Amino acid sequence: MGVRRAAKGVGEFLVETVGEAVAEVILSLLACALLGCLALIAYLSWSLSPRFTIAGAGLLSLLLAHGAWQTFRTPAKGRRRGLAALTAVGFTVTAMTALPAALLHRMRLPVRLFGSATQVRGRSCGSCFGDA
């Protein structure tokens, strides 16, 4: 009985560990895709009209702020509907994708750029631009 229980415990641990790793990968990919899309949108919109780019950034900030307010305020009776639900979901997704990046930055892990480590704690440690 002890061997079965130990094997079951190890199996549960492995399933939980793999599940967490898969969730981290999914969140990281989602964060990278979101950042890439935002950068592309900013580049394309700035090349067309800088005024609309600034106005769009202000509108996005306003929608995220409204989503944060809807998420953290005292819940009203019933469910959120319409714009309130949309902005709350937008804020939640943005916060969930930004959290892994913020944690990695806080832990000061090596930043990988084009396959080489470029900086760790302020020191150059790679040859990304030929300065080895």
Q: What are the DSSP calls for 10-31, one per residue?
A: HHHHHHHHHHHHHHHHHHHHHH
**Residue 87 is assigned to a structural domain of this protein:** yes
- pLDDT band (50, 70, 90) for residue 81: confident
CA 66/CA 124 separation, integer angstroms: 41
- pLDDT band (50, 70, 90) for residue 101: low
**Residue 131 is assigned to a structural domain of this protein:** no
**Residue 95 is assigned to a structural domain of this protein:** yes
**Residue 40 is assigned to a structural domain of this protein:** yes
Over 60: is that where the pLDDT of 115 sits? no
CA 62/CA 51 separation, integer angstroms: 17
Question: Higher pLDDT residue, 130 or 51?
Answer: 51
**Structural domains in the chain (count):** 1
- pLDDT band (50, 70, 90) for residue 118: very low
Query: Is this prediction's pTM over 0.75?
Result: no
**Residue 129 is assigned to a structural domain of this protein:** no
CA distances from 80 to 33, 45, 75 (A): 27, 32, 9
**Residue 72 is assigned to a structural domain of this protein:** yes
State the residue range of the domain holding 108: 2-124
**pLDDT number for residue 37:** 85
State the Rg of the chain over Cα.
Answer: 21
Question: Higher pLDDT residue, 108 or 27?
Answer: 27
